[in-house]
Chain A
Amino acid sequence: MSPRILKRLALPGVFLVICGFFALREPAFLGARNLTQLVVEFAIVGTLALGMLMILLTGQIDLSAGSGVGLVGGIAAVLVFEQGWPAPLAMLGALGVAMLLWWLMGRMIVRGGMPSFIITLGGLLIFKGLFWLVIQNSTIPVARGDTENLYSMLTTYYLPAGVGLGLGAVIAGVVAWVQWRGRVVRRRYGLPVMSEVRALGQTIFMAGAVLGVVVILNRFRGVPLSLLILSATGGVIYFLTEHTPFGRALYAIGGNEEAAIISGLAVERVVIGAYALMGVAVALTGLMTTAYSGASTTTVGDLMELDAIAACVIGGTALKGGRGTVMGVLLGALIMTALLNGMTLLAVAPEMKFIARGVVLAVAVWMDARWGR
């Protein structure tokens, strides 16, 4: 096999090895119940990591994401539980706050010429303080009594089996159609296209993977709503990074900011925009993870910024900017989630979990330094 193919298979290989290890130690790891939980946790880590990808692409960083996750979940919980707001409105309000905060941080970094490392480190502390103020250091449930609302349903609602399967089929069909259509148009203009066998193989693999996941999830309770949120986030960020001038600018700024400026790109606006979008990712993650734990407590979101950065770097994102893909980050998030989930399942002591997370982060950065261009 050529080195390029080996490189592409490395991450899926690592993922399978991790899954194999946990499955051998604890067969319940591959049970439908645990796999469903793993998918929800993957949705939470993945959404934040996708936001982080845009920040890292520009060569910046965001250390405040974890605190922000707690803060957003806390604001929404207080609005629902104590102020009696309808859940959708409360969630929208919290999302607005996150966007505003991240837009502000982006402005300070770009216009003030301040290093993002420090600004977001300040954000980490400030948001944590605000978070604890908002929830008064207590535990605020996401719904009153035993009732359900949109907020609590984020991680407890599952699509009925038929709907899940239908949706999976539609998604696979749309992706296949877009790919086929792209080939036809490119060929009409005499542009190079990949061989038919490869294209067909890719499409079949993609459709198989989507439907396979749905079938497995249907064995438990169905496709979780949070997976749809992750898919939508992934789709939007994929479109932004691959198909828009905004995405090109992200890569150009991280690759060579001076060249991006001379090329006439709106460098400042793009970086601020990336932070505002990170605010949205933080909000979505905050709402999901708070819903997942059922209530907002002081530890929600702790260290999640590091999991997100680790997921990005494991997935091939360069810390100095200019390199990284949505697919890579999703794979990195999957590996990260499998590790965390497996360790919880094996009842690994919390102190060992901290150490393991740290080692994974260090190894990922070491790989970036060693094999990154």
Chain B
Amino acid sequence: MALADEEWVGRPLLEVRGLTKRFSGVAALSGVNFDLRPGEIHAICGENGAGKSTLIKLLSGIHPVGTYEGEIFIGGEVVGLRSVRDAERAGMAVITQELAMVNELSVAENLFLGRAPRLGWRIDWLEMHRRAAVLLGEFGLEISSETLVGDLGIGQKQLVEIIRAIDKQTKILVLDEPTAALSDVEVGVLLGQLRELRRQGTSAIYISHKLDEVFSIADRVTILRDGRSMATMETAETTISEVIERMVGREISTFFPRGERVVSEEILLSAEGLTVSAKKGWAPCLRGITFELRAGEVLGFGGLIGAGRTELLLHLFRGWGYRLGGEARLLGKPLVDSTPGDSIERGMTLVSEDRKRDGLVLGETIGFNLSLSSLRRFTGVGWRIDAVAEAVRSEEFFRGLRVKASGLDVRVGGLSGGNQQKVVLGKALMTEPRVVLLDEPTRGIDVGAKLEVYELINRLAGEGKAVILVSSELPELMGMSDRIIQLAKGEMGGEFRRGEWTEEKLLGAAMGRQV
């Protein structure tokens, strides 16, 4: 256990002072300070976008020295980390959400990837498995070192990753959402191991949305909000509610031009007890999702990353995963094993969160992309696309959405993020949908384009379309929605009408607790 404030006399193991990091002029971090003491687990909390991942990337050398302002001290000396290697040499081990393991290799091979014990030219397999078994034993993992990593559960994988990251030089362990994919039992094992490591003198920076975990493991917690470090507190002297208050506590600006909405009685999309797993036989990742979406309404879905919001949209739109129970209806008719083609035909369209991965054909033109979902509307006799009708319609959307480009024949790959997003939205809306599913529609686009997207959402609602808005930005959800449902670990965390919600209530619901 680390020493409490008044007893603390020594030097911090790691300290950052005045860290500021800008991305093309926008500050992701501004003047962040915090310190890590030897043998301490220090949690960092903040909303999505508060700057946590940027901070980790600075500490782990991904954003090298010189690209930021401020100083990082390790063991009392200023360090300039140029690469991940540098950070490792300085005693840092970073474990991110994406696991960097080779599924086709055994546990032992993964543990010693690139540093296998050798006998001359050959790999010393016996020695490798012997050492691996010792490490696994120390962590209480009852798996053989010969097991393929691909056959492990996600929790065991995470532990193997941690074992690999820690070697004799490791003084500081940086864990970024290590329990996001773990079951409660696995979380227990992981936290137990962390306590053991702390007893042996390893320090850890622990980043998590799950405040109950933070309070059970961390000695201190630093809160980030909008790229600033708001406070550092002893967990023993604060409460979860206080931490949440510090995390939000932001004015909702009048940025959201929401006009009066007329929500009709007609239900366009509904779900009743929807329970879905990623694959047949897997544990459900969505449980008991129930909602009704009416014409002219904007229904916001909030929650932490990994809460199941994208999965819900994909299940509704393209039959993602395997439905274990419940039912969904689109315009009154059951929605089962849907395909994108059927959904579009029946009047539902999706704007997915990653426009480059599944929104656009980047090598093709604006015109090609705009009409891609609506080609059937332009084909008459003999499968021929009426190029003129298509061009006229595309021009209409091109102008209406104010895409900034010289014409329809410009390649979308060269457009800015905001203009690309407008093309994706145009493609979806050209299908003349009644239900529009928007997954993070303003991610990574500039403020002007955001405003245009908000105006578009208002217009859609005004035309009597029903909109689902998934967003990780609470102000956006609160500014645009008529109702908000917070998902927490795939379940209904809470449902709020306009006027009933506060940021604290919404964040509490997203974390699965009623505040």
Contact = CB atoms under 8 A, between A and B. Distances in A.
Interface string A249-279: 0011001101111111110000000000000
Given A259-B360, A262-B318, A248 B372 contact: yes
Contacts of B368: 248, 251-252
The 5 closest A-B pairs by CB, nearest first: A255-B361, A245-B375, A258-B358, A264-B344, A264-B341
A261 B364 contact: no
B273 interface: no
Interface of B: 318, 339-341, 343-345, 350, 352, 357-364, 368, 372-373, 375-376, 379, 383-385, 387-388, 391-392, 395, 407, 427, 431
Nearest to A246: B383
Contacts of B363: 255, 322-323, 373
A260 B361 contact: yes
13 contacts: A244-B383, A245-B383, A246-B383, A248-B368, A248-B375, A251-B361, A255-B362, A256-B362, A259-B372, A262-B358, A263-B427, A264-B339, A264-B344
Contacts, number: 86
Interface stretch (A99-107, A185-193, A292-300, A327-335): A185-193
Interface of A: 182, 185-186, 189, 191-192, 239, 243-246, 248, 251-252, 255-256, 258-266, 322-323, 373
- B357, B358, B379 pick with most chain A CB within 10 angstroms: B358
- A260, A261, A263 pick with most chain B CB within 10 angstroms: A263
Contacts of A252: 361, 364, 368, 372
B436 to A, nearest CB: 14
A328 to B, nearest CB: 15
B356 to A, nearest CB: 8
A191 B398 CA distance: 13
Contacts of B357: 256, 258-259
Contacts of A182: 387
A256 B372 CA distance: 12
B395 A191 contact: yes
Contacts of B350: 262
Given A186-B388, A192-B407, A263 B395 contact: no
A323 B392 CA distance: 25
B73 to A, nearest CB: 45
- B357, B375, B392 pick with most chain A CB within 10 angstroms: B375
Contact of A189 (B373, B391, B427): B391
Given A186-B391, A261-B340, 11 more contacts: A186-B388, A244-B383, A244-B384, A252-B368, A256-B362, A262-B359, A263-B427, A264-B344, A264-B373, A322-B363, A322-B364
A192 B375 CA distance: 21
Contact of A245 (B344, B376, B387): B376
B422 to A, nearest CB: 16
A262 B351 CA distance: 9
Contact of B379 (A244, A260, A265, A266): A244
A192 B407 CA distance: 9
A254 to B, nearest CB: 9
